[in-house]
């Protein structure tokens, strides 16, 4: 299977400059500096690379949206990885920090950016130490700093730690947080490409997205675009967790059947249980029932199935579980993480929690499901950022596919309480 | 109100932090983190000290601080245990393990042991889902938890 990001991932000491360089690391820089910055942007566009953080927006297009002739500009790497089920960026930075640095240098060169920040979630203090060391080595080698490899191009890179807020993975909230404010999302437009960090044009990309760029520069856009499907090019890291025998991060070519991911790569369901449901792209996307396991893992196939590829977190749920329990856990998460700025999200997440909690205490009434759907309708697409929509996804999909799990609880409702 | 002063070492660190950003305001989270790590909480006195460094009001420092879950107004123990209870960990039995941990420490979730050694918090996804159930103690991630492993980890901490 083609491996781009995980090719050498378990190689000993890959995180060191020596081993990374031996594997061809930082080779792309000279190649890039021989080209005009616009050519790199065009190559990334032609590669079909889409943002790997969740939204799947074409990366090259995002870069080309930067406001013309406005400087300084900034690059922010989104290493806030907090979408439940997702842990791929952690493994990338832990084992291969130089790949991210190389990708950031390339992006900065392509977009004429001289300052970059890597925004890591606050809990990644251990990764921050690793990144800082790798950056120090990259400065010593002249890959970062002034006049990189004699190209005349300058790029300074810094890390910045968050402090525990899921919402800071949303790009405009991340920028507010990096500016030292509460991590509340901003109204869009203006998008960060026009007014981002310090109101200057800013590129915000996920760790995995930036890590792909060295490959595109080294091997060419065509080679990357030859992998995957028509609309989903290249490979994707999938974090497979939950009820599987071999949980782990796996790199798959987009368009791989989900069955292969769950049963071949992750070894299938343990304890002779059966697959009940899976959430294909992190907790914010709708779950699918077991009979959809032959859907292909790519942006368009998952969209056609009514869900999303999201961050690439495959959460596998077996038939020992009542889906209402997992749904309540996810609602609780979104309630906790709602920043409180928008009413539909702040109140909606709490109301959903109260209702489902009551259902689980066998105090539910038959019209509760209708009420939940009504609340979801009033949350979906009605807030500044997608957090409210994210909470709606598991709720609506759990009702759609596993209504009988809710009805289990209604069976036991004492007559007197209805 | 007794004052809070930064140590000489911290002053040096603060200079280093300010140098990273073109605008001072970006140093807010790093300064709060600096204090939290040293004091195991951010006291009102420290907020005043930070506000002086940042040229803003203490109330503003507090408004930022209160947004983020990693800053604590109440002092946390020497070892802050963040126990993930999100979906992948839930599917792998974290609830029972959290209960076990609380019982072993003799405290309820959210509390600190009387000797201030441990604080146990329920936590949302910490991004180690492929090794669920997991917890983070101070800066260290621990995955593939079992009762036995938790016992060993807790016993190994001085």
Nearest CB neighbour to A182, from listed B67, B126, B132: B67
Identify the H or E element spanning A120.
strand A115-120
Q: Are residues B90 and B125 in the same domain?
A: yes
Number of structural domains (chain B) is: 2
Query: Do A67 and A157 fall into the same domain?
Result: yes
For A91, the closest chain B residue by CA position comes to B128
- List the 75-134 stretch of B: residues with Cβ below 8 A of A: 82, 85-88, 90-92, 124-132
Question: Do A376 and A399 sit in the same domain of this protein?
Answer: yes
- pLDDT tens by residue, B7-16: 999 999 999 9
pLDDT at A1: 78
Count: domains in chain A:
3
Residues of B in contact with A162 (CB under 8 A): 29, 68
Q: Residue A86's closest chain B neighbor by CA?
A: B127
Q: Are residues B53 and B87 in the same domain?
A: no
Question: Does B140 contact A at CB distance below 8 Å?
Answer: yes
Interface of A with B in 339-378 (CB under 8 A): 339
Same domain assignment for residues B36 and B85: no
B116 and B59 belong to one structural domain: no
CATH number of B16's domain: 1.10.10.1590
Judging by beta carbons within 10 Å of its beta carbon (0-12, 13-18, 19+), is residue B92 exposed, middle or buried? buried
Q: What is the DSSP letter of A166?
A: G
Question: Would you state the pLDDT for residue B158?
Answer: 86
- CB-CB neighbours of B59 under 10 Å: 9
Six token digits for residue B109? 């979730």
Pair B83, B55 in one domain: no
Residue whose tokens read 């781009």: A4
ipTM reported for the complex surpasses 0.85? yes
Q: Nearest CA to A332 among B20, B18, B108, B86?
A: B86
Is residue A71 within 8 angstroms of chain B, CB to CB?
A: no
Q: Which pLDDT value is given to residue A287?
A: 98
Instruction: Using the 3D structure, point to which of A295, A318, A341 is the last residue of a domain.
Output: A318
Q: Is residue A343 part of a domain?
A: yes
Q: Check whether residue A24 and residue A114 sit in a common domain.
A: yes
pLDDT of residue A380: 96
- Do A160 and A295 fall into the same domain? no
Claim to verify: residue A357 and residue A255 sit in the same structural domain: no
Q: Are residues B85 and B150 in the same domain?
A: yes
Task: Say if residue A195 is in the same domain as residue A288.
Answer: no
Q: What is the CATH number of the domain that holds A64?
A: 3.40.50.11540
**pLDDT given at position A61:** 97
Indicate yes or no: CB of A83 within 8 angstroms of CB of B125: yes
pLDDT at A170: 96
What are the φ and ψ backbone dihedral angles of B62, each rounded to 5 degrees? -65, -35
Q: How far apart (Å, rounded) are the C-alpha atoms in residues A55 and A197?
A: 20
**Do A295 and A330 belong to one domain?**
no
Q: Residue A9: inside a domain, yes or no?
A: no
Say what the pLDDT of residue A134 is: 98
CA-wise closest residue to B29 among B56, B61, B77: B61
CA distance B7 to A168: 31
Domain that holds residue A209: 17-225
Residue A411 confidence (pLDDT): 85
Q: B99 forms bridges with which residues in the sheet?
A: none
Q: Which of A290, A318, A346 is the last residue of a domain?
A: A318
φ, ψ for residue B111, nearest 5 deg: -100, 170
Report which DSSP code applies to A319. T
Residues 253-272 of chain A with CB under 8 A from chain B are none
Q: Is residue A386 part of a domain?
A: yes
- Which among A342, A313, A329 has a CA at the least distance from the CA of A398? A329
Residue B1 lies in a domain: no
C-beta atoms of A84 and B92 within 8 A: no
Q: Which residues pair with A237 in a beta bridge?
A: A251
CA distance A316 to A269: 8
- Domain check: are B58 and B83 in the same one? no
Cα separation, A213 vs A60, in Å, equals 10
What pLDDT, on a 0 to 100 scale, did the predictor assign at position A366? 82
Instruction: Report if residue A395 sits inside a domain.
Output: yes
Could you read off the pLDDT of B39-86 as tens digits, one per residue?
Answer: 999 999 999 999 999 999 999 999 999 999 999 999 999 999 999 999
Backbone angles phi, psi at B21, to 5 degrees: -125, 145
Say if residue B128 is in the same domain as residue B96: yes
Are A194 and A300 within one domain? no
Q: Is A89 on the interface with B (CB under 8 A)?
A: yes
Does residue A82 lie in a domain region?
yes
Q: Please tell me the distance from the alpha carbon of residue A373 to that of residue A379, in angstroms, as a whole number.
A: 10
Both A261 and A163 in one domain: the answer is no
CB of B154 within 8 A of CB of B78? no
Among candidate residues A225, A257, A292, the one where a domain is terminated = A225
**In this predicted structure, what is the pLDDT of residue B16?**
97
d(Cα A338, Cα A31) in Å, to the nearest integer? Answer: 44
**B150 lies in the same domain as B85:** yes
Q: Is residue A7 part of a domain?
A: no
Does residue A110 sit in the same domain as residue A146? yes
**Half-sphere exposure at residue A317, Cβ-oriented, CA atoms within 13 angstroms:** 27
B86 belongs to a structural domain: yes
> B124-134 burial, b if ≥16 CB within 10 A, otherwise e?
bbbbbbbbbbb
Q: Is A272 left (phi over 0), alpha (psi -120 to 50) or beta?
A: left
- Choosing from B65, B93, B114, the residue where a domain stops is B65
- Residue A8 falls inside a structural domain: no
* Cα A201 to Cα A195: distance, rounded to the nearest angstrom: 5
Whether the predicted pLDDT of B110 surpasses 90: yes
- The predicted pLDDT at position B3 comes to 84
Cβ contacts of A283 on chain B, cutoff 8 Å: 86-87, 125
pLDDT at A253: 98
Q: Report phi then psi at A323, rounded to 5.
A: -60, -25
- Would you call B25 an interface residue with chain A, using a CB distance cutoff of 8 Å? yes
Q: Are the beta carbons of B127 and A247 separated by less than 8 Å? A: no
Does residue A26 sit within a domain?
A: yes
Owning domain of residue B41: 8-65
A112 and A207, same domain (yes or no)? yes
Q: Is A416 exposed, middle or buried (0-12, 13-18, 19+ CB in 10 A)?
A: exposed
Spans of chain A below 50 pLDDT: 418
User: Which of B34, B65, B96 delimits the end of a domain?
Assistant: B65
Residues B112, B85 share a domain: yes
Whether residue B88 is found in the same domain as residue B26: no
Residues contacting B144, CB < 8 A, separation 6+: B131, B133, B134
Residues B50, B91: one domain?
Answer: no
CATH number of the domain encompassing residue A281: 3.10.20.600
Chain B stretch 27-86, residues whose beta carbon is closer than 8 A to a beta carbon of chain A: 27-30, 32-33, 54, 63-64, 67-71, 82, 85-86
Q: What residues pair up with B140 in beta bridges, in sequence order? A: B137
Residue that is written with structure tokens 């730690």 in the block = A161
Q: Give CA–CA dist A76/A201, Å, rounded.
A: 11
Q: Which of B40, B65, B90 is the last residue of a domain?
A: B65
Rounded distance between C-alpha atoms, residue A165 and residue A182, angstroms: 10
A87 to B129: CB separation less than 8 angstroms, yes or no: yes
Both A281 and A341 in one domain: the answer is no
Which pLDDT value is given to residue A416? 59
- pTM (2 decimals)? 0.96
If you ran DSSP here, which 8-state letter would residue A243 be given?
Answer: S
- In whole angstroms, give the CA distance from residue B14 to residue B8: 10
CATH number at residue B125: 3.40.30.10
A residues 279-338 lying closer than 8 A (beta carbon) to B: 279, 283, 313, 315, 317, 321, 325-326, 329-330, 333, 336-337
Is B45 within the bounds of a domain?
yes
Nearest to A351 by CA among A335, A337, A362: A335
């Amino acid at each position: 299977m083609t491996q781009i990001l995980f090719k050498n991932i378990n190689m000993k000491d890959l995180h060191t400059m020596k081993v990374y360089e031996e594997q061809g690391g930082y080779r792309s820089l000279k190649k890039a500096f021989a080209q005009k910055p616009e050519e790199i942007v065009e190559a990334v566009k032609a590669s079909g690379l889409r943002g790997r953080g969740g939204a799947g927006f074409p990366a090259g297009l995002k870069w080309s949206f930067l406001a013309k002739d406005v400087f300084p500009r900034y690059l922010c790497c989104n290493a806030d990885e907090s979408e439940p089920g997702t842990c791929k960026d952690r493994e990338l930075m832990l084992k291969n920090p130089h790949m991210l640095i190389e990708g950031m240098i390339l992006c900065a060169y392509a977009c004429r950016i001289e300052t970059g920040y890597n925004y890591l979630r606050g809990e990644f203090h251990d990764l921050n130490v690793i990144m800082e060391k790798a950056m120090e080595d990259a400065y010593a080698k002249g890959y970062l700093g002034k006049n990189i490899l004699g190209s005349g191009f300058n790029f300074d890179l810094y890390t910045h730690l968050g402090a525990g807020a899921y919402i800071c993975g949303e790009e405009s909230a991340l920028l507010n947080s990096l500016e030292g404010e509460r991590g509340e999302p901003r109204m869009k437009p203006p998008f960060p490409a026009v007014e981002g960090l310090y109101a200057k044009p800013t590129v915000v990309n996920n760790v995995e997205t930036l890590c792909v760029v060295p490959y595109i520069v080294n091997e060419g856009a065509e080679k990357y675009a030859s992998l995957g499907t028509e609309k989903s090019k290249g490979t994707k890291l999938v974090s497979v967790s939950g009820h599987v025998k071999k949980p782990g991060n796996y790199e798959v070519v987009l368009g791989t059947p989900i069955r292969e991911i769950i049963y071949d790569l992750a070894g299938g369901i343990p304890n002779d249980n059966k697959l009940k449901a899976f959430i294909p792209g992190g907790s914010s996307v709708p779950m699918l029932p077991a009979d959809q396991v032959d859907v292909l893992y790519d942006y368009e196939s998952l969209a056609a199935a009514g869900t999303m590829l999201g961050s690439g977190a495959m959460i596998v749920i077996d038939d020992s579980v009542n889906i209402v329990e997992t749904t309540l856990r996810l609602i609780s998460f979104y309630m906790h993480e709602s920043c409180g700025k928008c009413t539909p999200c702040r109140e909606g997440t709490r109301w959903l929690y109260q209702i489902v909690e009551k259902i689980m205490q066998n105090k539910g009434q038959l019209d509760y499901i209708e009420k939940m759907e009504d609340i979801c309708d009033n949350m979906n697409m009605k807030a500044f950022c997608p957090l409210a929509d994210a909470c709606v996804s598991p709720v609506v999909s759990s009702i759609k596919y596993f209504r009988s799990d809710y009805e289990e609880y209604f069976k036991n409702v004492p007559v007197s309480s209805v | 109100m007794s004052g809070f002063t930064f140590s000489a070492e911290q002053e040096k660190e603060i200079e280093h932090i300010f140098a990273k950003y073109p605008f001072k305001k970006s140093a807010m989270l790093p300064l709060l983190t600096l204090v939290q790590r040293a004091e195991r909480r951010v006291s009102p006195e420290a907020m005043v000290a930070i506000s002086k460094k940042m040229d803003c009001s203490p109330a503003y420092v507090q408004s930022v601080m209160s947004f983020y879950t990693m800053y604590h107004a109440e002092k946390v123990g020497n070892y802050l245990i963040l126990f993930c209870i999100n979906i992948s960990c839930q599917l792998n039995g974290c609830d029972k393990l959290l209960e076990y941990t609380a019982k072993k420490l003799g405290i309820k979730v959210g509390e600190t042991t009387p000797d201030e050694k441990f604080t146990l918090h329920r936590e949302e996804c910490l991004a180690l889902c492929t090794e669920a159930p997991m917890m983070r103690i101070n800066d260290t991630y621990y995955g593939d938890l079992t009762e036995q492993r938790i016992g060993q980890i807790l016993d190994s901490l001085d």
